[in-house]
Amino acid sequence: MTTSFPPGFRWGVATSAFQIEGATTADGRGPSIWDTFAGVPGAVAGGDTGEPAADHYHRWRDDLALLRELGVDSYRFSVSWPRVQPDGRRFERRGLGFYRRLAEALREQGIEPFLTLYHWDLPQALEDSGGWRSRDTAHRFAEYASLVHEELGDVVDHWTTLNEPYPCAVAGYGEGRHAPGAREGHGALAAAHHLLLGHGLAVQAMRGQATPQHQFGIVLNQSPVVPVSDSAADAAAAARQDTLLRRQFTDPLFGGRYAPGLAAMFSGVSDFSFRLDGDLETIGAPLDYLGVNYYYRLHVADAPHREPDPAQRTVADIGVDTSRLPDVPRTGMGWPVEPEGLTEALVGLHNRYPGLPPMYVTENGCVYADRSDFADYERITFLNEHIEAARAAAAAGVDLRGYFCWSLLDNFEWAHGYKHRFGLVHVDYATQARTPRASFRWYRDFVAAQRG
Ligand code: FCB
């Protein structure tokens, strides 16, 4: 295999707070929208909740030992906002203390902490006053970011504002598949805008108090969108999907404009009155990196809107059908395995936005059914092929700085609950025993080989 990555290329793994920590009431933590949502009958498969997850809040030292054994040089994790501000405002020092201990210990082991401020767990109190539909939430987020940055700026250099604003806005406020479970049009578009604004305000606040080594970025999920035929209708459907999923975010962040076509797509749904003068400048302030999460490509056909009256339409109702998958192998999530989509995502961004900051692959991974001996050869093949696809993007001129595998541990996979397992390490949720899979040893050896 040809695997020459640039010098200093980072190899890591990623997790997120709500998905692994458990301990949802420890040390003054307040409820998040995911605690509330998981309590709604039928919202999460199996009635699963944020308890016990991988009980990482109590077992983080064991998990740090796993990171050491894995030999990664970087670890991407997220801070739980409702641990640090249980009601979205009041500072809870005990909650923050957890992340200080973690970041310090990572550093002592020579592992670089990549901290994400928001991986979907909004304090419920802020949802009660409008959530991301409300402009005030963007300001609350900037305040929270500035607080965490001030407290941990001495031990963390890599600061990611948001993880994947697309599902937050569309699955959360449009489709109702994710917390807070809303099905809206205007509200979901407002949520997307306020997430971006919150990002921009947070970067502004943190830059104002940063030291020179601090780096600021955002993480976006990037599924290249492919029309299922060469018909004009399918091409137009693919363009709508791309606008909703990607350009709604990347154009304001890196192109200095709102995505052309977005307002026309939602005419009658929203008047976009949430866009205020100056917002674009705040959102588009320069970043030090862009994190790309890649799992699959989206294959799109034209289809009728489900709701004929635009005023009643949700943001997810854009007249597309995404169920026509290509004839390729699928993962246990049912996602098509298409490693070339990762090359395409990275090269596509690079070509579309001159002046794009350096990129990292901040998530990539898969689910397959376990064998009794945890010999997950499919996962090894998947990772191997995707790392190769990342290498191809770097070879094509993309400034790619690192790759993070999702995930270190099995965890709470949002609306799917605990059924789907993304970990390099198997977690027995009853005993909390950790068992490294074969892919863990493969990644360990692979990373060691890269160092030569
Ligand atoms: C991404 C999320 C991450 C995880 C993976 C499978 O969209 O960022 O938390 O659930 O999907």
Greatest alpha-carbon pair distance for the chain in Å reads 61
Tell me which of 112, 184, 338, 363 is the catalytic residue. Answer: 363
**Contact call for residues 257 and 283 (beta carbons, < 8 A):** no
Provide the mean pLDDT of the chain: 97
- Residue-wise pLDDT tens digits, 237-270: 999 999 999 999 999 999 999 999 999 999 999 9
Helix (H) or strand (E) holding 20: helix 17-20
Tokens of residue 280, six digits: 């674009």
Distance 311 CA to ligand 1 centre (A): 31
The angle that helices 56-70 and 93-108 make with each other, rounded to 10 degrees, is 20
| pLDDT value, residue 195 | 99
What is the distance, to the nearest Å, from the Cα of residue 105 to the centroid of all Cα atoms in its chain? Answer: 24
Name, in order, each residue with C-beta under 8 angstroms of 215's C-beta and a sequence gap of 6 or more: 157, 158, 159, 288, 289
Q: Which of 360, 361, 413 has the most ligand 1 atoms within 8 A of CB, as the residue to mutate?
A: 413
Distance CA 199, CA 390 (A): 26
Q: Which of 118, 406, 420 has the most ligand 1 atoms within 8 A of CB, as the residue to mutate?
A: 406
What sign for the dihedral angle of Cα 36, 37, 43, 49?
A: negative
- Residue-wise pLDDT tens digits, 11-63: 999 999 999 999 999 999 999 999 999 999 999 999 999 999 999 999 999 99
Q: Which residue has the tokens 């949720």?
A: 429
Which atom from ligand 1 is nearest to the alpha carbon of 163? Answer: 8
CB-based burial label for 133 (10 Å; 0-12, 13-18, 19+): buried
Which atom from ligand 1 is nearest to the alpha carbon of 16? Answer: 9
Pocket of ligand 1 (CB under 6 A): 16, 19, 163-164, 221, 293, 363, 406, 413-414, 422
Does the structure show a pLDDT above 80 at 452? no
Strand order of the β-sheet with 298-302 is 225-227, 298-302, 320-321
- β-bridge pairing 289-293 and 425-427: unpaired
- Residue-wise pLDDT tens digits, 167-190: 999 999 999 999 999 999 999 999
Q: Does 43 or 4 have the greater pLDDT score?
A: 43
Distance 414 CA to ligand 1 centre (A): 8
Q: What is the mean pLDDT of residues 230-243?
A: 98
Does the structure show a pLDDT above 80 at 448? yes
Q: How many CB atoms lie within 10 A of CB 410?
A: 26
Distance 294 CA to ligand 1 centre (A): 9
Distance 278 CA to ligand 1 centre (A): 31
Which atom from ligand 1 is nearest to the alpha carbon of 333? Answer: 6
- Residue-wise pLDDT tens digits, 360-384: 999 999 999 999 999 999 999 999 9
| pLDDT value, residue 416 | 98
Distance 422 CA to ligand 1 centre (A): 9
The protein residue whose alpha carbon is closest to atom 10 in ligand 1 is 413
Distance set, CA 173 to CA 191, 275, 308 (Å):
7, 18, 20
3-state class (DSSP) for residue 90: coil
Distance CA 176, CA 130 (A): 15
3-state class (DSSP) for residue 159: strand
Distance CA 133, CA 173 (A): 8
Give the model's confidence band at 1: pLDDT under 50 very low, under 70 low, under 90 confident, else very high.
Answer: very low
Q: State the Cα angle at 61 between 59 and 66, rounded to 5°.
A: 100
Tokens of residue 42, six digits: 């039928």
Which atom from ligand 1 is nearest to the alpha carbon of 365? Answer: 6
Tell me which of 21, 112, 127, 164 is the catalytic residue. Answer: 164
Distance 184 CA to ligand 1 centre (A): 22
Which atom from ligand 1 is nearest to the alpha carbon of 167? Answer: 7
**Catalytic residue flag (residue 143):** no
Distance 326 CA to ligand 1 centre (A): 22
Does the structure show a pLDDT above 60 at 69? yes
The protein residue whose alpha carbon is closest to atom 9 in ligand 1 is 16
Distance set, CA 64 to CA 57, 192, 278, 297, 404 (Å):
12, 34, 43, 33, 16
Tokens of residue 77, six digits: 């994790």
Tokens of residue 444, six digits: 């360990």
Distance CA 217, CA 159 (A): 6
Distance set, CA 290 to CA 158, 346, 356 (Å):
11, 10, 8
**Catalytic residue flag (residue 164):** yes
Q: Which of 48, 293, 367 has the most ligand 1 atoms within 8 A of CB, as the residue to mutate?
A: 293
Distance CA 273, CA 270 (A): 8
